[in-house]
Structure 1
C-alpha cells in the first residue's frame, strides 16, 4: 500500500492553486449574477407601463373612450389615463398642482387662462374641433318639447349646469341672442330660467339626468349624446341664429414627463382616424 504525501512546499503550492481557482470561480459567478441583474433591470424597465394623463372636458367622454385604445395599440406599454370633468374644474385642479400631460378643455377661455399662468407649452396649443349646442329630451318626450320656444312653457323641468361650466356660458350667450329677438325677448328668458330645476357641475351630468328621465329637457353639446345614451334621448335643433359654436383646443402641460407622447396624442386627434372618431360624436373637426 502506497501513501501519497506532499512536502510542506508542495502543500502550500497546492493550496495556493486551489484557492486561486475558487476565487476565479467566485469572481466569474458574481460577474454572471451582475449581468443577469442588469438584464433583469432593463427588462423590467422595458415592461413598466408608461402613463399618459389626459385632462379632458366631460363633453369628450365618448371621444376619449374611443381614442384611448387606438393610441395604446399604436404605443405598446403606454396606458392612457383620462380625467373627465368640466373644463373649469380641470383648470382649477391643474392650477392647484394636479399632474396632467395634455389638457383638452371645451372652451378657449380655460386654455387661455393656463397659458397666461405659464402652465401650457404655447407652441403645442392646437385647434382640432368645434361643437354646437343642442336641446336634448328623453325618448318619450313627456313635456312635448318641439323647439327652443317650448323651453319657456310652464311646468317644464329643465336641467342646466353651474355658471363656470363652458356649456352654461354658451347657453347664456344663446339667451343673450334671444333677448334681441322680438319673438323671444325677456319674457322667454325669464320663463326659461324659472324652469331650471337643477344645475350640474358638468355637461355629462346634465345629459345623464335627461337620459334617466329625471328632467324633461336639457341644453348640452351635440357630442354629449354618446353611444351610451343615444337610444334614450332625442336631439332637437337650436335655430342657427341663436346657436353658439364652441372651439376645442389641445395643449401639452409644461410639467409633462412625456412631452413627445403628448404631442403624438394631439397628432392622433388631428389625424384622419381622430377626425373620424370626432365626427361619430357630432364634432366638426378643423
Structure 2
C-alpha cells in the first residue's frame, strides 16, 4: 500500500514539474515577443504602419510635357512615397490659378514675367526660384505639306490661310510670336489669318491636324512631332530670350519634398534629360 502511495506522489510531483517548465517556456516566449515588438517600434519597423504617399502638384508649362513625364518615371522609382501630379498649361493661366489659391507645390514657367508676378505677390520667395532652361521659337508646317515656307515673310502667301499662335496674354510662346511678328511689321497684316490656342501644344495640334497651315511653337515641341516639321527658325533678334524659371510655392504643404524635387530638377541627371528634348541649359 505504501509503495502505491509513494508511486502516486512521485507521479504527481513529476506532473507539477512538467507544468512549471511549460509555464516558464511560455513566459520566456511571451517576453521574447514583447521585446521584439518594442525593438520594432523603436526602430520604426512596425509592419502595421504603411509609408504614406506624398503627392506633389507641379504647375508646368505645356512645352515641358514630354521631358517631365520621363523625369517623373525616374524620380518616383528612386523616391518611394512620392507621387508627382503635373498640371500642364499655358504659363499665364497657371499663374492665375496659383494666384487664386489652386493647390500647387512648384511652378515651372515658360516666362520670367509670370514667375516675377508671383514673386512680387510674395507667393514665391525670391530665393526659392531661378532660371532653369532656355528655348527657341520656330515655325512648323504639316509634315506632308507642299507649301514652300522658309522665312517669316512666307506666311503672307495666299496658300497660307491660317496661322496658329498661343494666346499672347496667357501663352508665352504666343507672346514671343507676337513680338517677333510685330518687329518684322507683320502682326497687324496677319490678323485675319491668326488662330489662337490655349497653349503651345494646341498650336502644334492645329498644324498636325491641318487646321492651321503654319504654327509658332518652341523648337522642343516641334521635335516631339511626327506630323509636323520645322519650316524655319524665327530670328532670335526679333523676340526676347525664352527662359524657363522654376520656383517653390510658398503655401506648399509639403515644403521639404518640394525642395527635394526642386533640387533634383537642377541635377545633372535631370538636365541631361531636358537637353535630350532640345532644351538649352543656361551657362
| TM-score, structure 1 normalization | 0.78
Segments of structure 1 that go 5 or more residues without pairing to the other structure are 1-24, 180-187
Matched, 1:255 2:261: no
Native 8 Å contact 1:68 1:80 kept in 2: yes
What's 1:182 paired with?
none
Task: Give 1:177's aligned residue.
Answer: 183
Q: Equivalent residue for 2:144?
A: 140
Describe how 1:94-105 pairs up with structure 2 within 5 A: 94-105=98-109
Question: Structure 2: which 5+ residue stretches go unaligned?
Answer: 1-26
SS of 2:184 mapped into structure 1: helix
Contact map agreement 1:135 1:219 (CA 8 A) in 2? yes
Partners of 1:62 and 1:226 in 2: how far apart? 11
- SS where residue 121 of structure 1 aligns? strand
* Structure 1 residue 44: Cα displacement: 6.1
RMSD of aligned C-alpha atoms? 2.6
Alignment of 1:179-258 (within 5 A): 179=185, 188-196=186-194, 198-225=195-222, 227=224, 229=225, 231-235=226-230, 236-258=232-254
1:45 CA drift (Å): 5.2
Structure 1: distance between partners of 2:95 and 2:48: 35
Alignment partner, residue 122 of structure 1: 126
TM-score scaled to structure 2, two decimals? 0.78
In the other structure, the counterpart of 1:88 is 92
CA pair 224-84 structure 1, distance change in 2 beyond 3 A: same
User: 1:222–1:281: 8 Å Cα contact kept in structure 2?
Assistant: no
Q: What is the CA distance between 1:46 and its match in structure 2? A: 3.8
CA shift, 1:96, in A, is: 1.2
Q: How far apart are residue 43 of structure 1 and its match? A: 4.8
1:235-272 deviation per Cα after TM superposition (whole angstroms, max 9, x unaligned): 12123432442111110011112222222222222221
Which one of the candidate residues 253, 262, 265 is aligned to 1:266? 262
Kindly indicate whether the alpha-carbon contact (under 8 Å) linking 2:223 and 2:278 is maintained by their aligned counterparts in 1.
Answer: no
